[in-house]
Amino acid sequence: MKLWSDGWANGEAIPERYAAGRLTASGVDFADNLSPPLAWSDLPVGTRSLVLLCQDFDVPGVADDVNQTDREVSVDTPRVDFFHWVMVDLSPSRNGFSAGQWSDGFTSRGKPGPQAEGARQGLNDYTGWFDGDADRRGQYFGYDGPFPPFNDALVHHYVFTLYALDIARLPVEGSFTGPQVRDALIGHVLDAATLSGTYTLNRRLRG
């Protein structure tokens, strides 16, 4: 299997238009938050559906220093996984997405779901991130892109993974999450392909 994007090359910086956050003259703000263009090929024989996950493996596991103007989040801070996109039951007849097909702008309280053009989208982890914010609390389905802490000393790495499955419908229901999908994949993956990219809002690292 192969997975790629004409938005950036594997391992390079993700362009700002595909991120949820951007730098401004005075700080940070929401960005265009376009879902990225993706394409794939060489699915294995017997593929009955596809699953797409996007994860940031570099989110600080301790929030004490996050977005503080007087200090940085240390590179030694424990890190946890954060799901930016959870999509299941994609037809193997698909061979990609166009830019902005699934997200165009950041929607406070989240985009609706889970049904999505014959597929299903799960909750991304902004659902939990904004749970304590009265203005933005909600269920965040589908794609919402990178918005790392502006003071993080570690450049974040984002990994898009496409899985080819031997079943047509993944056994997850309702408002399912990334970890639930990851567990449900066990025993059904025929092959997988990845695409990675980086993103930072730390002005010192951006130069």
At 77-133, the pLDDT tens digits run: 999 999 999 999 999 999 999 999 999 999 999 999 998 889 999 999 999 999 999
At 147-190, the pLDDT tens digits run: 999 999 999 999 999 999 999 999 999 999 999 999 999 999 99
Q: What's the pLDDT at 207?
A: 73
Q: Please state the separation of Cα 203 from the chain's center in Å.
A: 22
Q: What's the pLDDT at 143?
A: 98
At 2-17, the pLDDT tens digits run: 999 999 999 999 999 9
Taking residue 107's Cβ as centre, other Cβ atoms within 10 Å add up to 17
Residue among 54, 60, 59, 57 nearest 7 (CA): 54
The pair of three-digit structure tokens given for residue 27, joined into one six-digit string: 């700080």
Mean pLDDT of 130-151: 97
Domains of the chain: residue spans and CATH: 2-202 (3.90.280.10)
Q: Which residues contact 9 (CB under 8 A, 6 or more apart)?
A: none
The DSSP secondary structure of 55-69, one letter per residue, reads EEEEEES--TTTT-T
pTM above 0.95, yes or no: yes
At 68-77, the pLDDT tens digits run: 999 999 999 9
Mean pLDDT of 55-72: 95
The strand pairing partners of 90, in sequence order, are 50
- With H, G, I as helix, E, B as strand and everything else as coil, classify residue 103: coil
